């Protein structure tokens, strides 16, 4: 079973977070949501929805994952960017050739970790396209896949982004099995 980690920060974009959690679990992946606080604390998302993480990030980091996915939203993406555990985690995932993914404003954290240099990537307009990243091509696409780095533009493409993650980890047949009942 594929193992996916989704860190949840206060102020994350709930449309992205819930879509990621729901669809990745429909694909039968083991999804662990982890709050940044030391204690298991409810997360108040950017529009006021309360989410309860499965565990703390410190506990979650004791396990290996096949994929890391960072939901965006503000100030959630800022909290991910500022958390001292996230940048080393991103770098570890990339070094181990594992999927490292972010949507909306969260690709900025991938940039801070130095993993977008000489890559193709997308983000919420005004995020990556305003940054000076050596050799990076900003695509502006809904979803951009560059090897094992997958980025998404924003909440409106959360389903497409998550289906791309499912296809990357589980193949096109699994993606179709998850997508069909959604009646898209």
Q: Catalytic: 101?
A: no
In Å, what is the CA distance from 20 to each residue of 4, 13, 34, 90? 10, 11, 13, 18
Alpha helix segments (H runs only) across 27-135:
57-60, 76-82, 86-95, 107-112
Residue 55 has a pLDDT of 98
Round the CA-based radius of gyration of the chain to a whole number and report it: 15
Q: Do residues 141 and 125 lie in contact, with contact meaning Cβ atoms separated by under 8 Å?
A: no
- Sign of the C-alpha dihedral computed for residues 184, 154, 83 and 111 taken in this order: positive
The percentage of residues in the chain with a pLDDT greater than 70, rounded to a whole number, is 100
> What's the chain's average pLDDT?
97
Q: Do residues 54 and 34 lie in contact, with contact meaning Cβ atoms separated by under 8 Å?
A: yes
The structural domain count of the chain equals 1
75 upstream amide cis, omega within 30 of 0: yes
Residue 71 has a pLDDT of 98
Residue 8 has a pLDDT of 98
In the three-class reduction of DSSP (H, G, I as helix; E, B as strand; rest coil), residue 164 is classed as: helix
Give the Cα separation of 166 and 145 in Å (integer): 13
Examine the pLDDT at 160 and tell me if it is beyond 90.
yes
For residue 83, give both structure tokens: 């958390």
CATH number at residue 12: 3.40.50.880
Q: Do residues 36 and 69 lie in contact, with contact meaning Cβ atoms separated by under 8 Å?
A: no
Residue 184 has a pLDDT of 80
In the three-class reduction of DSSP (H, G, I as helix; E, B as strand; rest coil), residue 49 is classed as: coil
Examine the pLDDT at 174 and tell me if it is beyond 90.
yes
Structural domain range at position 31 = 3-182
Examine the pLDDT at 130 and tell me if it is beyond 90.
no
List 93, 104, 133, 166, catalytic entry = 104
**What predicted TM-score, i.e. pTM, was given to this entire model?**
0.97
Q: Any residues with CB less than 8 A from the CB of 27 and at least 6 apart, and which?
A: 166, 169, 170, 174, 175, 177, 178
């Amino acid at each position: 079973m594929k193992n996916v980690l989704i860190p949840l920060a206060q102020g994350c974009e709930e449309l992205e977070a819930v879509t990621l959690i729901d669809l990745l679990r429909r694909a039968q992946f083991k999804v662990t949501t982890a709050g940044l606080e030391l204690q298991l604390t409810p997360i108040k998302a950017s529009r006021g929805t309360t989410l309860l993480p499965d565990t703390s990030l410190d506990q979650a980091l004791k396990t290996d994952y096949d994929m890391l996915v960072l939901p965006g939203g503000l100030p959630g993406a800022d909290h991910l960017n500022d958390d001292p555990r996230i940048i080393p985690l991103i770098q570890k995932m990339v070094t181990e050739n594992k999927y490292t993914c972010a949507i909306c404003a969260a690709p900025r954290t991938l940039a801070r970790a130095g993993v977008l240099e000489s890559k193709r990537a997308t983000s919420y307009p005004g995020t990556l396209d305003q940054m000076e990243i050596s050799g990076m091509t900003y695509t502006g696409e809904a979803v951009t896949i560059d090897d094992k780095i997958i980025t998404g533009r924003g909440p409106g493409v959360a389903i497409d982004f998550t289906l791309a993650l499912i296809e990357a980890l589980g193949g096109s047949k699994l993606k179709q099995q998850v997508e069909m009942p959604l009646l898209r």
